[in-house]
Every structure is written in structure tokens, then in C-alpha cells.
């Protein structure tokens, strides 16, 4: 809520063009930070596994951790910058505990684009069934499989399983929703 209010205030203060420029700058900064984190984690992996070549799952795990770390760092930096520009969060917002979301995790995954990091087992299953798909699709599918694992749902056990089509449908829808969200953010700015 604080970030949304701060964004609105900045948008009103600086206008759409300046806000769009800032959003582009944030995107570039995040991409650079992800690349830096990826380089660091890749070096660390090679130190931990000398004379080995990372497999797809290793690279996917490195990329996921890099993205999460960079996102956390950038969010913290911008939160500090916003607090300096906009001021402290209102007391009412600081004290209001947020009500826990009681919807099932799978529903939040689809509707709110909530991300869940995949375990090695989920990544292995997705790689076995959909390893030929684009990396972004594989990451989303592994996240969904992890959600189903957490919820105790049955997982697809082969390409002939009817759950394969359900996973493909949900991941395709999730990817499209993410694309639509990014597109709307670009046009909104």
C-alpha cells in the first residue's frame, strides 16, 4: 500500500513522462543487478564444484536466486529512496497488520501471479516432461508443480497423464497474465 501511494505521489509530482523514464531506469538497474548476482553465484558454483559443468537445473536455480536477490536489494534501495522523498509511512499504515490471505496457494498463484520457488524435485519433474519448452515457461511450470506439492495434490507422472494438459493450460494462462501485466505497466507509465 505504501509503495502504491508513493508511486501515485511521484506520478503526480513528476508527470507520466518522468515516471516512465524512472520505470525504464528501474528496469535497467534490475537487469544489471540480476546479471551481477548471476555472475557471483556462477563463480561460487564453480568454486563449490570444480571441474564440473553446471546442468540446466543448476543454471535455473542460479538464475532464480539471482533474480530474487536482485529484486530484494532493489526493493530495499527504492524503499529507502521513497521514504526520503515522500517521508515516513503514515502511522496508521505501519500499525495495521495485514489479514492473512486464506485462499488456497494455487488460487493465489493463478490470480495474483504469486511466485513459489521450486524444489529440485519439482524442477526435475518439469525438466523431464517439458524440458524442451522455453526457460521462462519451465520456471513457471516448476513453480506450479511446487504449489501442487505443497497443497498435497497429485502430480503428473508422464506425458499421457491428464494433468499434463491442466499444467500446460495454467502455465500458459499465467505467462499470458504476466505479459499483460508488464504491457499494462509500460502503457500506464
Q: What is the pLDDT of residue 16?
A: 73
Q: What is the pLDDT of residue 183?
A: 58
Q: What is the pLDDT of residue 1?
A: 45
pTM given for the model: 0.47
Beta-carbon-side half-sphere exposure of residue 90 (alpha carbons within 13 Å): 8
Higher pLDDT, 41 or 101: 41
Distances (CA, A) of 15 to 3, 22, 49, 81, 137: 17, 11, 50, 18, 35
The Cα 31–Cα 10 span in angstroms is 23
Instruction: Report the range of poorest mean pLDDT among 56-60, 95-99, 183-187.
Output: 183-187
The Cα 21–Cα 110 span in angstroms is 30
Higher pLDDT, 20 or 147: 147
- pLDDT digits 0-9 by tens, 36-85: 888 888 888 888 888 888 888 888 888 888 888 877 777 777 777 767 76
Q: What average pLDDT score do residues 20-25 get?
A: 76
Is pLDDT of 3 > 80?
A: no
Evaluate the CA torsion angle 90, 93, 94, 96 in order and state its sign: positive
Q: What average pLDDT score do residues 167-175 get?
A: 88
Is pLDDT of 109 > 50?
A: yes
Q: What is the pLDDT of residue 155?
A: 94
Query: 82 with 6: CB under 8 angstroms?
Result: yes
Query: 139 with 60: CB under 8 angstroms?
Result: yes
Instruction: Report the range of poorest mean pLDDT among 7-16, 88-97, 116-125.
Output: 88-97
- pLDDT digits 0-9 by tens, 118-166: 888 988 999 999 989 888 888 888 889 988 998 899 999 999 999 999 9
Higher pLDDT, 111 or 50: 50
The Cα 47–Cα 68 span in angstroms is 22
Amino acid at each position: 500500500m505504501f509503495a502504491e501511494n508513493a508511486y501515485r505521489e511521484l506520478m503526480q509530482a513528476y508527470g507520466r513522462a518522468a515516471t516512465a523514464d524512472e520505470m525504464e531506469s528501474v528496469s535497467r538497474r534490475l537487469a544489471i543487478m540480476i546479471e551481477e548476482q548471476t555472475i557471483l553465484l556462477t563463480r561460487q558454483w564453480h568454486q563449490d564444484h570444480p571441474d564440473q559443468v553446471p546442468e540446466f537445473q543448476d543454471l535455473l536455480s542460479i538464475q532464480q536466486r539471482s533474480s530474487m536477490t536482485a529484486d530484494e536489494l532493489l526493493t530495499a534501495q527504492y524503499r529507502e529512496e521513497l521514504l526520503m522523498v515522500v517521508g515516513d509511512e503514515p502511522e496508521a499504515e505501519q500499525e495495521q497488520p495485514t489479514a492473512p490471505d486464506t485462499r488456497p496457494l494455487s488460487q493465489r498463484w493463478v490470480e495474483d501471479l504469486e511466485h513459489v520457488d521450486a524444489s529440485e524435485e519439482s524442477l526435475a519433474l518439469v525438466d523431464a516432461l517439458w524440458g524442451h519448452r522455453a526457460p521462462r515457461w519451465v520456471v513457471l511450470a516448476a513453480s506450479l508443480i511446487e504449489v501442487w506439492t505443497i497443497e498435497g495434490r497429485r502430480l503428473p507422472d508422464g506425458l499421457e497423464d491428464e494433468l499434463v494438459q491442466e499444467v500446460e493450460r495454467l502455465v500458459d494462462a499465467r505467462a499470458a497474465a504476466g505479459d499483460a501485466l508488464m504491457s499494462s505497466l509500460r502503457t500506464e507509465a
